[in-house]
Amino acid sequence: ERRFNIPHLTDIFKDLQPIPSTFCLRSRTPVSEDFADGYPSDAKWHGYINNNDRVLLKVIHYSSPTSAGAECIGPGCTWVEQWVHRAGPREKIYFKPEKVNAAIVTCGGLCPGLNDVIRQIVITLEIYGVKNIVGIPFGYRGFTDKGIKEMPLTRKVVQNIHLSGGSLLGVSRGGPTTKEIVDSMEERGINMLFVLGGNGTHAGANAIHDEVRKRRMKVVVVGVPKTIDNDILLLDKTFGFDTAVEEAQRAINSAYIEAHSAYHGVGLVKLMGRSSGFIAMHASLSSGQVDICLIPEVPFHLHGPHGVLRHLKYLLDSKGSAVICVAEGAGQNLIQKTNAKDASGNMILGDIGVHIQQEIKKYFKEIGIPADVKYIDPTYMIRAVRANASDGILCTVLGQNAVHGAFAGYSGITVGICNTHYVYFPIPEVISYPKVVDPNSRMWHRCLTSTGQPDFI
């Protein structure tokens, strides 16, 4: 790899003093003789990022191994430092803009901000001087499905797409194998691929990166993490999350009004969060109207002296109404497993919202107390809204940085915001497992303080 003089991420760390628990990233660069020494960029950016620039992701001194969160470090070690690569334009680029054939694909479910990211990628590519940009419609399927035609993209096409939610390109689950995707890329001459999607999509992007390396193609694959659940490791937050929390709050507010206006009213809101309860936790924290927040990370019982239902009775007795917020992945042990999978191979979860609704009705009927349950599932309404202002800005920066990363010759990377700075990560570092709410974290404890709920176990 060295002989092609490609910016080599591991080099960046070779002169660093050893620090306990320092976290270094592995190389994620393509191999191609064409890369030579790079070319000076014609596009003039206001200042360049040096390949040696690093962002301190995390530095924390635990005064004792039992401090909150300290279990993530080794015995006797009380310092943690983590460094990552700073994102942004480089002085030397590794593609001649006139030779670039860029493609953008969006996969998985919808998330506010997809159009904002597509738009920024196209605009930034054009500023670099790229003329050939296409969108691959309907996710990875668009590479191989005969009836799907690629969509030429220009600034004019994308100018106003961020004004509505969804994805201009459409999304899908499942689809062709990695080999079929790379064959199709070779046929189309695509040498820059931007992939917007969640963990599944990124696993796919990483496999594409490995395959193009194996075939020694001069191709870069750059991801932009799309997860409304905010469940990507190491990143401060992912685009769409902020918007989702804001919309979720509206649903909670409606549930509160419904509950409050009924005799013994119970407002039940199911929110997104297959494996992590960030949306439910943050929406509960921000609305201040939730009495019980249930997330996948924290087990609970419905029945029994310490169960949710007994507490609900206490709430109806004492305040007259109650609001419950439950994440879709919570309490899966309480409902029958379906073993069904979606087209991408993800488990289809049982509906915990409907289950809790039925159990509440049954319980209050049995004890002879009236309860008026209103169940709200705002999932699809939330996913389809356009990004709010803060997500709009995040999408803009991520989209621009994806293009800068591609021109800098980085491949198999994804862009993100860490510790308030914008950075590049090797894909495997962030998708090895989903980020979850730590039940011992201060944030979860703050949520419990806010709702006033006991442990349901």
Q: By C-alpha distance, which of 237, 197, 224 is closest to 398? A: 224
What does DSSP say about strands 220-225 and 192-197: parallel, antiparallel, or unpaired? Answer: parallel
Contact with ligand ATP (CB under 6 A) among 32, 82, 191, 201: 201
Task: Using the minimum distance from each CB to ligand ATP, give the nearer residue, 167 or 357.
Answer: 167
Q: Does 346 bind ligand ATP (CB under 6 A)?
A: yes
User: Phi/psi class of residue 367: alpha, beta or left (left: φ > 0; alpha: ψ in -120 to 50)?
Assistant: alpha
CB of 30 to ligand ATP, least distance (A): 19
Residue 344 binding partner per list ligand ATP, Mg ion, none, with a CB distance cut-off of 5 to 8 Å that depends on partner kind: ligand ATP
Query: Binding string, 150-189, against Mg ion, x = CB under 5 A?
Result: ----------------------------------------
Query: Binding string, 120-159, against ligand ATP, x = CB under 6 A?
Result: -------------------xx-------------------
How far, CA to CA in Å, does 367 sit from each of 141, 260, 303, 313, 323? Answer: 53, 21, 13, 10, 20
Q: Does 199 bind Mg ion (CB under 5 A)?
A: yes
Rounded CA Rg of the chain: 24
Give the three-state DSSP class for 379.
Answer: helix
Task: Using the minimum distance from each CB to ligand ATP, give the nearer residue, 93 or 395.
Answer: 395
Q: What are phi and psi of 404, to 5 degrees?
A: -60, -40
Task: Using the minimum distance from each CB to Mg ion, give the nearer residue, 112 or 200.
Answer: 200
Q: Which two tokens stand for residue 84?
A: 């990552």
Q: Does 204 bind ligand ATP (CB under 6 A)?
A: yes
Interface residues for ligand ATP in 219-238 (CB under 6 A)? 227
Residue 350 binding partner per list Mg ion, ligand ATP, none, with a CB distance cut-off of 5 to 8 Å that depends on partner kind: none
- Among the listed residues 15, 42, 229, 438, the single catalytic one is 229
Cα 114 from Cα 240, distance rounded (Å): 8
Task: Using the minimum distance from each CB to ligand ATP, give the nearer residue, 54 or 173.
Answer: 173
Contact with ligand ATP (CB under 6 A) among 344, 388, 400, 414: 344
Interface residues for ligand ATP in 286-305 (CB under 6 A)? none
CB of 239 to ligand ATP, least distance (A): 12
Residue 201 binding partner per list ligand ATP, Mg ion, none, with a CB distance cut-off of 5 to 8 Å that depends on partner kind: ligand ATP
Cα 34 from Cα 78, distance rounded (Å): 46
Q: Which stretch binds ligand ATP (CB under 6 A): 42-50, 69-77, 107-115, 246-254?
A: 107-115
On whether the CB atoms of residues 193 and 221 are closer than 8 A, the answer is yes
Contact with Mg ion (CB under 5 A) among 97, 135, 197, 200: 200
Q: Does 238 bind Mg ion (CB under 5 A)?
A: no
Task: Using the minimum distance from each CB to ligand ATP, give the nearer residue, 60 or 347.
Answer: 347
Strands (E), 178-315: 192-197, 220-225, 265-271, 292-294
On whether the CB atoms of residues 374 and 99 are closer than 8 A, the answer is no
Long-range contacts of 437-443 (CB under 8 A, 24+ apart): 437/276, 437/277, 437/278, 437/281, 437/295, 437/297, 437/298, 438/69, 438/297, 439/297, 439/298, 440/68, 440/69, 441/68, 441/69, 442/68, 443/281, 443/285
Task: Using the minimum distance from each CB to ligand ATP, give the nearer residue, 11 or 180.
Answer: 180
Count of chain residues binding ligand ATP (CB under 6 A)? 19
The continuous run of DSSP H or E covering 23 comes out as strand 22-23
Q: Does 209 bind ligand ATP (CB under 6 A)?
A: no
Cα 235 from Cα 224, distance rounded (Å): 12
How far, CA to CA in Å, does 9 sit from each of 14, 232, 284, 420? Answer: 10, 21, 40, 21
- Whether 229 is a known active-site residue: answer yes
* Residues that are catalytic: 229
Name the residues that contact ligand ATP, by CB under 6 A: 107-109, 139-140, 173-175, 197-201, 203-204, 207, 227, 344, 346
Name the residues that contact Mg ion, by CB under 5 A: 198-200
